[in-house]
Structure 1
């Protein structure tokens, strides 16, 4: 089987690694960025408890990529109050290096974003791993996405504004500002906001805390869940994997682990796309509930009494998956955050 993987981000790199080991599959990757400009856009924080196993599937040791081991995360709630989350495996890591090592030895054509019509004659299957762009699948209606910007910066020794993870929530949970330490004075700072008020806050932070700007990147993040992102295929040769079909955890805007999980589900079910679709819907069923909560907050329609049942379900899910989220989950903290 000849397979094309388009988009070499987290999901695409994982697929290139796994599919290239299959005896009956010949896989070719396509990445629109030139090789010397290839980058891992936005957010380099994840949970090592989960990523260790996914990296091991690719013959890699995740410990080799960890840049900062989190202990606590301060969540600023736009008042005199804040939440101090105890972390249990959340790390910042060298996302680009991990992607580069995953694709080492595979066939990738950089600087190319071919049209679907160009690929169809030469490939039996085309995997759309283009993330937000969803270039090869039918367009979605009424989807929800959040614009984001991120800077990689460097501080002089001892001048770092924080020594661990920091978030600042925007009103009505329309988004948040983040600070992720990367070690040796480096950090990622950025923000995403549905109301598009994130850029002034980032600029204010850059002026307040003197630093050297190394790189700036930006792109939207789709937070609509898989249930809102069907169809997963074009009905012919193309199938979506990762953020292209909505695998972002809307409450945190986190897509690294769920997109890699999605790629793993594809590897397990690539001979039966209906089984793949069903596996994705089952795996990410709770994402619809979490998306509903975030959407209600953004629209100003969330009511603590009326939606108490949903809050309890979200709490039970995250409490039971503390090792997956890399943090201690407390109901008191969730109630505080939900009132922003």
Structure 2
């Protein structure tokens, strides 16, 4: 079987590593960015409890990539930068890590063509299967209608005096997004913001950078899809192309987190390589709760959320996260979740 994996992010890198070891498969990767500019756009936070096993599956030790081991996350649910309305969340495995280096080591020795986004017709002529792991862009799959996405911007910065020694989030009104500060060690950090309403991002970012001066190392921007897999069908084009990762909605919308979900999705693809129907069914089953989260977020953004009418939805999300504390790397508290719903 000849497979083309297009898009070498989290899901694409994991697929290249795992599929390259299969004796009955020839896999080639394609990445539109030049190798020297290849980047991993996101805040680089993940859960050590889960990612260490996927790294090990690739013959790598996640400990070698960890930049900061979190202990507490401060979530500001107030109105401004100087708000005293904070939620303190105990962390249990949440880390920031060198995502780009891990991706580079995952794909080391695999067959990848950089600086190329192949024409779909050319791929169909040469390959038996095309994997669309192009993330938000979903280049080779049918375009989605009425989907929900959040524009995000992020800076890698360097501080002489760090503003926080651990993770910090500022939640925007109506759960429309948040600002993040993720420490990377040695005075470096990722600061960024995503806001569905597009109002808070620049205002809060400017005030934060004015209050905490820093040297800007790099600036990136990209949208993040928060439409769940159940709303990203079809996962295929009916011919040779199938989606994996964010291209089919594997982002946990409440946190804007896609690293672990996309890796889980990639593993499901590897396990069901020769059975597309089973792969699709397992993706929909594994990420079923993402539909509840999506409904919750959408109602909040549209100001239609009611804690009494929608309590069952919140309870389902709470039970899922509470039973998966090790997967999220944090203690889950119902009172904190209720505070968030009242923003």
TM-score by length of 2: 0.98
- What's the counterpart of residue 230 of structure 2? 227
- Report deviation, 1:15: 0.2
- What's the counterpart of residue 274 of structure 1? 277
- Report deviation, 1:139: 0.4
Q: 1:148 aligns with which of 145, 152, 157?
A: 152
Tell me, in whole angstroms, the C-alpha distance in 2 between the residues paired with 1:82 and 1:173.
15
Q: SS in structure 2 opposite 1:121?
A: helix
Spell out the pairing of 1:111-130 with structure 2 (5 A cutoff).
111-130=115-134
* Per-residue CA distance 1:37-60 (angstroms, 9 max, x = gap): 000012200000000011111011
1:37 equivalent in alignment to 2:41: no
Tell me, in whole angstroms, the C-alpha distance in 2 between the residues paired with 1:134 and 1:43.
21
Tell me, in whole angstroms, the C-alpha distance in 2 between the residues paired with 1:129 and 1:199.
30
- Report deviation, 1:78: 1.9
- What's the counterpart of residue 26 of structure 2? 26
Q: SS in structure 2 opposite 1:21?
A: coil
Tell me, in whole angstroms, the C-alpha distance in 1 between the residues paired with 2:35 and 2:210.
33
**Moved segments of 4+, more than 4 Å:** none
- Structure 2 gap segments, 5+ residues each: none
- What's the counterpart of residue 246 of structure 1? 249
Tell me, in whole angstroms, the C-alpha distance in 2 between the residues paired with 1:115 and 1:264.
26
- Structure 1 gap segments, 5+ residues each: none
- Report deviation, 1:125: 0.3
- What's the counterpart of residue 98 of structure 1? 102
- What's the counterpart of residue 175 of structure 2? 173
- What's the counterpart of residue 6 of structure 2? 6
- Report deviation, 1:270: 1.0
* Per-residue CA distance 1:99-133 (angstroms, 9 max, x = gap): 00000000100000112112111100000000000
- Report deviation, 1:199: 2.1
1:195 equivalent in alignment to 2:200: no
1:85 equivalent in alignment to 2:108: no
In 2, are the aligned partners of 1:69 and 1:92 still within 8 Å (CA)? Answer: yes
- What's the counterpart of residue 137 of structure 2? 133
Q: How many residues align?
A: 338
In 2, are the aligned partners of 1:149 and 1:199 still within 8 Å (CA)? Answer: no
- Report deviation, 1:204: 2.1
- Report deviation, 1:148: 0.2
Tell me, in whole angstroms, the C-alpha distance in 2 between the residues paired with 1:111 and 1:60.
26
- Report deviation, 1:207: 2.0
Q: SS in structure 2 opposite 1:23?
A: coil
Tell me, in whole angstroms, the C-alpha distance in 1 between the residues paired with 2:123 and 2:71.
46
* Per-residue CA distance 1:47-85 (angstroms, 9 max, x = gap): 000000111110111111000000000000024311000
In 2, are the aligned partners of 1:146 and 1:194 still within 8 Å (CA)? Answer: yes
TM-score by length of 1: 0.99
Q: 1:285 aligns with which of 288, 299, 305?
A: 288
In 2, are the aligned partners of 1:65 and 1:98 still within 8 Å (CA)? Answer: yes
- What's the counterpart of residue 326 of structure 2? 323
1:16 equivalent in alignment to 2:16: yes
- Report deviation, 1:151: 0.3
